[in-house]
Structure 1
Amino acid sequence: MAFRMPAEWAPHEAVWIGFPSSADAWGAPLQRAQQQIAAFANAVHASGQGERLHVIAGSAEAAAIAAELVDSGIHVEQRHIGDVWLRDTGCIIVKDGDRRIARDFGFNGWGGRYDYPGDRTIGAELAASAGLEIRKADWILEGGSIDVDGQGLAATTADCLLNPNRNPTLDKAAIEARLRDELGIDRLLWLGDGLRNDHTDGHIDNLARFVGVNHILIPQGAGANDPNSAAFDDAHKRAEAFGCQVSNMPSVGRFMQDGEAVPASYMNFYIGNHNVVVPIYGAENDDAAITTLAALFPDRKVVGVMADAVLTGGGSFHCSSQQIPV
């Protein structure tokens, strides 16, 4: 066998969740973002015999707030964390049988956009605290830029992985080779553009997610006013041509914050051991998104949690979390 990145629906031992901590980074939405991240953690925890939860706060003050907001049984830790997006700054854990390795990829603030102290070190720090063997990778890769079915198939966007602000010396073939060697990905579905105004350069976890082996979920545009209809249509065509089973997810549609259409997406859901937590926004398709996921995950409870304040920081629940497979 070889080391491979498990699918998110494979059993988890634990999950790390970043907790909004910096008023400088979050501004006025900080308090509501903290409440929504805590509600996400509580929803995962409420599933009962699930994974252990570790909420990671960046200051003593934030840790005290988190401890007040989350359920008893959720472990709150204060660590030197830059921003909450542990999907991108945390290690990606691969498995070969019962052996696990934490792949510690490079991180450059999403192409140099946001440079917070702690973001380059938190992944290895958390992996070490979990007793995991760590192997450093010498190139930039964010966990939110890939999604896998656990059987060697992954999806990504050219918008992100081929952006010269990440790995300017690596071409498509070189990236495919590295993903094969380090994450066990031997088939890579290249999608095109990500969501409009996504400062990650179009992470896949806002656009398309695997919900089964070779089975991918992609939104349908919510009418002519949806700024992402063309990206969704293109993703559908590419996935079908690649040979994937494709299911449809409702789109949030045009979602405005501070006069700008922002990348609100139901695709940023987290698949826990016993439930699926989907971000909702007080939008027309919130209930339809929950119903869609409930049909796809009949063995898990699907829970919608408000995420509009979390979105002001540039992501949602999947972005803020990184699981530890058993």
Structure 2
Amino acid sequence: MPTHLDTLTPKQLGFKFPAEWHPHRATWLTFPHNEASWQGDKLARMRPQYLAFIKEISRGEKVGIVAHNQQLKAQIEEWLDETGVDLNQIEFVIKPTNDAWCRDHGPAFLINPDTRQRLVLDWGHNAWGGKYPPYDDDNRTPIAIAEHLQLLTIQPGIIMEGGSVEFNGQGTVLTSRSCLLNPNRNPHLNQAQLEEYLANYYGIEQVLWVEDGIVGDDTDGHIDDTTRFVKEDTVVACVESDPNDANHAVLQTNLDLLKKMRLPNQKQLNVIELPMPKAVMIDDFRTPGSYANFLICNAGVIVPVFNNPNDQLAIDILENVFADKKVIPLPATEIIWGQGSFHCLSQQEPSV
């Protein structure tokens, strides 16, 4: 059973949240089964894209799957076998689940580079400000995975979502005011207090703030839809070239802020512009389609594409950015109906 440490913070213990490009032992997913996120036939329609995502991750690392029950586990194994996934690359945790967004309700894995230890942060989860109850089963996911892996856990005691924070692995975290300072998360905390939590529990030195997120994003502006670290000193930042588009002004504001930012060594942040897809509409609903919602894994960089005029332009930019990695475009045209994509669905477990 994990040990709960209540006196020392991870930073004091020498732990930190590594950059996503740090080698992974596994990537964790919570398998979707709840039609509240993909109504009617949409759950069945998104499943082949989800299984293709698992297949690509599994080429380079284990895939941990949280399955709602044994019956679903058996069905998942059948689907994965039909998809051509090596089942030796899959490990399961069986526990009740509410939703699929493991980035936000799953464990945050920290490493200690000196002692080669790992631990799990078990933040609180309230389904993006209480928007989608019930969420109590998902809130128990970090503990279940920590028990499976026999890892220590620390519970900071506040609400935090993995999609709201972006790390360079060298002491800097990016986040957005619209989400992290939203009163529906931690109304008892001001900006300085939140920054203290980020520093003490993620083991970082500096918090950089953008303003807001994109249309269709029901998380109040998660950073992983707009701005992502691709190197210690480099980010890709989403931009919308059409001045009449609802995303244009907010992304321009974020871009202006990013260009003024400095790292702790006073080096200017290197900002590479990444286009937004033309509006990704499904049933008259504008989804939060974004090429920034990619997952960096051992096998490469899995990028959502939307059968969109800007797909190839985004792929070309990311292939140039990730010159030493394989860029793997995968269709997310059905997944995006759930208002998230590959990064939102996954949480990496670093190796040590």
Length-normalised TM-score, structure 1 = 0.95
Q: Which moved more, 1:94-103 or 1:217-226?
A: 217-226
CA-CA distance at 1:53 after TM superposition: 1.0
Rg larger for: 2
Partner of 2:184: 165
Question: Aligned partner of 1:300: which letter?
Answer: K
SS at match of 2:221: coil
Question: In the alignment, what sits opposite 1:53?
Answer: 63
Deviation at 1:186, TM superposition (A): 1.2
Superposed displacement of residue 288, structure 1: 1.6
Question: Bigger CA drift: 156-165 or 97-106?
Answer: 97-106
Are residues 1:94 and 2:100 paired? no
| Correspondent of 1:30 among 31, 39, 43 | 43
- 1:17 counterpart letter in structure 2: L
Q: Which runs of 5+ in 1 are unaligned?
A: none
Partner of 2:153: 134
Matched, 1:69 2:79: yes
List aligned pairs for 1:189-268, cutoff 5 A: 189-243=208-262, 244-268=269-293
Q: Shift of residue 254 of structure 1?
A: 1.6
- Pairing 1:79–2:95 present: yes
Q: Judge which range, 53-62 or 291-300, deviates more.
A: 53-62
Moved more, 216-225 or 151-160: 216-225
After superposition, the C-alpha distances for 1:59-99 in whole angstroms (9 at most, x for unaligned) are: 44543342233202332534312111111001111122212
Question: Partners in 1 of 2:232 and 2:343 — Cα distance?
Answer: 20
| TM-superposed deviation, 1:232 | 1.5
Report the 3-state secondary structure (helix = DSSP H, G, I; strand = E; otherwise coil) of the residue aligned with 1:144: helix
Q: How far off its partner does 1:128 sit? A: 1.6
Distance in 2 of aligned mates of 1:23 and 1:109: 16
Distance 1:320 1:142, change over 3 A: same
Higher mean C-alpha deviation, range 301-310 or range 59-68: 59-68
Q: Deviation at 1:112?
A: 0.4
Secondary structure of 1:17's aligned partner: strand
Measured against aligned partners, the alpha-carbon deviations of 1:159-197 in whole angstroms (never above 9, x if no partner) come to 000000000010000000110000012111100011113
User: C-alpha displacement at 1:225, in angstroms?
Assistant: 4.4
Residue in 2 that maps onto 1:114: 132
- Give the equivalent residue in structure 2 for 1:11: 23
Quick check: 1:206–1:267 contact (8 Å CA) kept in 2?
yes
Q: Is the 8 A contact 2:227 2:236 kept in 1?
A: yes
Distance 1:281 1:303 in 2: 13
2:248 aligned partner, one-letter code: S
Query: Could you list the per-position Cα deviations for residues 101-140 of structure 1 after superposition, in whole angstroms to 9, with x for gaps in the alignment?
Result: 1010011111000123411101211122112111111100
Work out whether 1:43 is the aligned partner of 2:62. Answer: no
Change (3 A) 1:281 1:157: same
Q: Is 1:270 aligned to residue 295 of structure 2?
A: yes
Structure 2 Cα separation of the partners of residues 323 and 248 of structure 1: 25
Which of residues 103, 109, 122 is equivalent to 2:121? 103
Give the fraction of aligned pairs with identical amino acids, expressed as a percent.
36
Distance 1:310 1:59 in 2: 22
Q: Which range moved further: 312-321 or 73-82? A: 73-82
> Equivalent residue for 2:7?
none
Counterpart contact for 2:61–2:89, Cα < 8 Å: no
**Superposition deviation, residue 220 in structure 1:** 1.9
CA distance in 2, matches of 1:68, 1:298: 36
2:122 alignment partner, SS class: strand
CA distance in 2, matches of 1:209, 1:236: 12
Determine whether 1:280 maps to 2:305. Answer: yes
8 Å CA contact 1:85–1:321 kept in 2: the answer is yes
Unpaired runs of 5+ residues, structure 2, are: 1-12, 263-268
Q: How many residues align?
A: 323
Match of 1:312, SS state, is helix
Q: Which range moves more in the overlay, 159-168 or 115-124?
A: 115-124
CA distance in 1, matches of 2:34, 2:151: 28
2:333 aligned residue: 308
1:294 equivalenced with 2:319 (yes/no): yes
1:34-73 per-position Cα deviation (integer Å, ceiling 9, x unaligned):
2111111111223xxx221123332445433422332023
Offset at residue 260 of structure 1 (A): 2.3
Cα RMSD (Å): 1.5
| Counterpart residue type for residue 213 of structure 2 | G
